Structures are given as C-alpha cells and as structure tokens.
Amino acid sequence: MNMFFQSIMAGLETGSLYALAALGLVLIFRTSDVINFAQGEMAMFSAFIAFKLFDGMKLPYPLAFLGAIVFAILFGFIVERVFIRPASKASLVSKMIITLGLIMIVGGLANALFGIDSHYFRKAIVADNMNIKGVVIQPNAIFIIAITFFIMAGLFYMINKTKMGIAIRATAQDENTAKMMGIPVSKVYSMSWIIATILGAIAGILIAPTTNVSTAMMGEVHLKSFIAAVLGGFGSFYGPVVGGLIIGVLDNLVGMYISLTWKTVIVYGLLILTLIIKPTGIFGKTHRKKV
C-alpha cells in the first residue's frame, strides 16, 4: 500500500509541474487564440537567469527567484513587442509559426550565452523529508502542488472577477468590438504575454531541480504540459491542472501495476481515447452556432 501512495504522491508532484508549465500556454491562448510553442524555451531561459543569479552572482535564492521574475516581465514585454505585435494582422497560423521561430532564437541564444552543460539547481524548499507510515513526503513537492493550485486560483479570479479579466475575455471574443468599447487591446496582449512569461519562469525554476538547468530542460515537460492542456481543455484554467495531474498519476500507476515498458503507449493511448470521446478535452465546452 505504501508503494501505491508513494506513486500517487510522486505523480501529483510531476503532474503539478506539467500543469504549471501549461498555465502560461492557456493564458496566451485564451487572450489571442495563439499557441505559444516557445513557452518551454522561454521558461528555460528564465530558469537559466535564476540559476546564474544564484550560482554565478551568489545571490540568495529568494532574490535570484525575484530577479528571474523581473527578467521575465521584460522578456515577455519584448517578445510581444518585437515578434508578435508587428504580425498582429497576420493569420493565426502565421503567428504560431512565429512562435516556432522563437524556439530557435531563444534556444540558440541560450546556447551561446549559457553554454551547453547541464547544471543542478537547488529546490525551492530544502527541509528534511517527512516519513508518514513509510510514505516519504518531500516538503518541496507539497510546495509545488500548493503553488500550482494557488496560481490556478489566482488566474481564475483574475479572468472572472477583475477588469483586466473582462478586458482579456472581450479581446479574445472580438478584437475590433473590444477596441470600440475602449479596451486598450495592445496593452491586453502585452499584459497576457508578460504574465505568461512570468508563469513560465516560475515553472522553469521549480522544474529545474528535477530536470537540471540546461538548454534541453523543458523538452519533455513542455510536450506533456501541452498534452495536459489539450486533455483538460484549453478553455479553462482548472482543465490543464486536472489534465497534468491525471497524466502524472496515471503514468506512475500504469508503470507500477501494468507495465513499465509499455506505460507510455498505454497512458497516451488512453488519452487519445478520451479525446475521441470528448474532443474539446475533459472540461472543454463545445460551442454550437445557432442557425
């Protein structure tokens, strides 16, 4: 039984990491219908900044964390201003291809600036592990799960209860009408890119102790975060979190009780089956046009 709970606990932690990485993706999607394929690379870059501040400049961890957040604000602003806004009239596909190009630019820049080695980056919480009836619980895992739910709730509140949220929803629905209503659409786009980049930075820094800081650190996590968002539904903030947790836990349970060799095939086979039954994701809503 211990092994069962240990697997669930680890699955929740890994799933939270996928969810954290997915929330930034979903925010940009909800504002502009664009999927930012470079979200993972941007998170990697911010994680490198935190690592360099901590390891290179020997700043205390909280300051390094804050430094990376400040960098992410600038980074998100610049990316939106330089790469996305000039293409505001382009089609959605073109915008997504720009984000694919961003992968190359950010990845190449990181390679040139930070080198090609992998580095260990400490956990956010470095307290002793707890042992509850044979199940090892790492305080850092609890922190990651908690922060994921906190951010999810924060985003949910922002979108539904604040003026900024109303502006984002209005812009997403119809950019021109939103403009006519006096919503500063450019600012809304800029803001959503900035928040998404901050979320990416938080995800990158929290994921770093698991994957190590390297230019390849987000590869697998970014892919799984994308799957989590599709599974949970791109339309909500709780969908990707639930999707991420399902993937994390299912991965471990299938590995534990069915087969480690075939777990990837089984888990993703099940996910595809889910999407066949519910193409918009578990929490996705089907919009029907009235004739």
Partner 1 sequence: MLKNLKKRKSILLVLSLLLTLSLLACNQEAAVNNEAGDKVEYAQGITEDTIKIGTIAVQSGVLSFIGTPYVAGMESYFNMINENGGVNGRKIELLKKDDEFKPDKAVAAVESLIYDDEVFAIVGQLGTPGVVAAQDIVKEKGIPSVYFGSGAVSLTKAGENFFPVQPNYVYEGKLMSKYAFEEFKADKVVVMYQNDDVGRDGLEGFKDGLKELDKSSMLPSEGEIAFGASDTDFTVQIQKAKEQDPDLIIIYGLGGATSGILKGMEGLGVNKPMLTTYSNADASFLKMASKGAPNVIENLNVMGWLEVNGESLKPLNEAMKKYYPDVPVNAYTMAGWVAGETFVAGVKKAGDNLTWDGYIKAMNNLKFTEGLAPEISYEPGVRQGVTKMAVSKVVKNNGQYEFKVKTAFKEFE
Site residues for partner 1 per CB under 8 A: 3, 6-7, 9-11, 13-14, 17, 107-108, 111, 115-120, 122, 129, 136, 138, 207, 209-212, 214-216, 219-221, 248, 251-252, 255-256, 260-261, 264
Dist CA 212 CA 204 (whole Å): 10
Q: Supply the minimum distance, in Å, between the C-beta of residue 123 and partner 1.
A: 9
Shortest spacing between CB 65 and partner 1, in angstroms:
18
Beta strands in the chain (DSSP E): 130-132, 135-137
Residue 209 Cα distances to 68, 116, 118, 137, angstroms = 16, 17, 11, 16
Amino acid at 228: A
In the complex, the smallest distance separating the C-beta of residue 11 from partner 1, rounded to whole angstroms, is 7
Cβ nearer to partner 1, comparing 111 with 162: 111
- DSSP-derived letter for residue 84 is I
Closest CB to partner 1 among residues 79, 110 = 110
243-246 LR contacts (CB < 8 Å, sep 24+):
243/18, 243/19, 243/22, 243/281, 243/282, 244/15, 244/16, 244/17, 244/18, 244/19, 244/20, 244/22, 244/148, 245/11, 245/12, 245/15, 245/16, 245/19, 246/15
CB of residue 233 to partner 1, shortest distance in Å: 24
User: Considering beta carbons, is residue 211 or 236 the nearer one to partner 1?
Assistant: 211
| Least distance in angstroms from the C-beta of 202 to partner 1 | 17
CB of 122 to partner 1, least distance (A): 8
* Contact call for residues 237 and 229 (beta carbons, < 8 A): no
Instruction: Report the DSSP beta bridge partners of residue 130.
Output: 137
Distance CA 38, CA 63 (A): 26
When the beta carbons of 9 and 124 are compared against partner 1, the nearer one is 9
Identity of the residue, 98 or 207, whose beta carbon is nearer to partner 1 in the bound complex = 207
122/169 with CB nearer partner 1: 122
Q: How far is the CB of 66 from partner 1 (least distance, A)?
A: 23
Q: Indicate the residue among 13 and 80 with the shorter CB distance to partner 1.
A: 13
Contact 37, 105 (CB under 8 A): no
